Amino acid sequence: MVNLSLYTVQAVVVLDSEGNRLLAKYYSRGPNAQGHKSLKEQKKFESELFSKTRKSSSEIILLDGQTVLFKYVNDVYFYLVGNPEENELLLSSVLSGLVESISVLLKHNVDKRSLLDNLDMVVLALDEAIDDGIALETDPNAIASNVSKRGVDTIDMSLSNLNEQTLLDAYKQAKERFNLALLR
């Protein structure tokens, strides 16, 4: 049967070299979503993932009826869990795009320490790439660009721009009131 759903990703898990969770995001939507609802179930699944992939040379496995793709970078494991019927090439491009965008954001220094120090950017990159189980973006440069733009928009606002904005708004508001008064 062909999967016609947009919900392609069931989970994204990032573990360190000892199998400890650094980041995990589980999505419970879609036709074949395996709801890892409790923390205990999630931890059990993650320990199974780590034990199966710790010494594996391949980048894809089938675990509990789910397709799992993973990448090992320095001392961090990145896992992407998808539906069993899902196209592995699509899942691979999503995972590669996410890992490469994180690498760009962390200035090609992807390790446990830098990932935890910049967890806000990593989570934003994850949200740019995958939204509620739907793969949105696979281009690492676009993901990194969107994440870095958010920081500039919210932080770089000078006082002069604020004053000019309020003066302009006040002028527009006075002009509108004057025009309304003339129409009466």
Domain ranges of the chain: 9-155
Q: Encoding tokens for residue 23?
A: 């980041």
- Asked if 136 and 12 count as a contact pair (C-beta separation under 8 A), the reply is no
Residue predicted with more confidence, 167 or 65? 65
Three-state SS for 125-153 is: HHHHHEECCEECCCCHHHHHHHHHHHHHH
Q: Encoding tokens for residue 165?
A: 């904005």
CATH number for the domain running over 9-155: 3.30.450.60
pLDDT of 83 reads: 84
pLDDT digits 0-9 by tens, 37-62: 788 888 988 888 898 888 877 788 88
Using the 8-state DSSP alphabet, how is residue 86 labeled? S
- Asked if 33 and 21 count as a contact pair (C-beta separation under 8 A), the reply is no
* 14-23, 56-65, 99-108, 139-148: least confident range: 56-65
What phi and psi values does residue 163 have, to the nearest 5 degrees? -65, -45
pLDDT of 94 reads: 92
Q: Encoding tokens for residue 149?
A: 């733009």
Q: Average pLDDT over the chain, rounded to whole?
A: 81
Contacts of residues 145-152 at CB distance under 8 Å and 24 or more positions apart, as own/partner, are 147/101, 147/105, 147/121, 148/105, 150/124, 151/121
pLDDT of 78 reads: 93
Q: For a pLDDT cut of 90, what percent of the chain falls above it? A: 15
Report the SS3 class of residue 73. strand
pTM strictly above 0.85 = no
Report the SS3 class of residue 62. strand
| CA-derived radius of gyration, the chain | 22
Q: Encoding tokens for residue 18?
A: 């000892």
Report the SS3 class of residue 10. strand
Residue predicted with more confidence, 29 or 171? 171
How far apart CA 144 and CA 101 sit, in angstroms, is 5
Helix (H) or strand (E) holding 165: helix 159-183
Q: For a pLDDT cut of 70, what percent of the chain falls above it? A: 84
Instruction: Please report which confidence band the pLDDT of residue 182 belongs to, taking 50, 70 and 90 as the band edges.
Output: confident
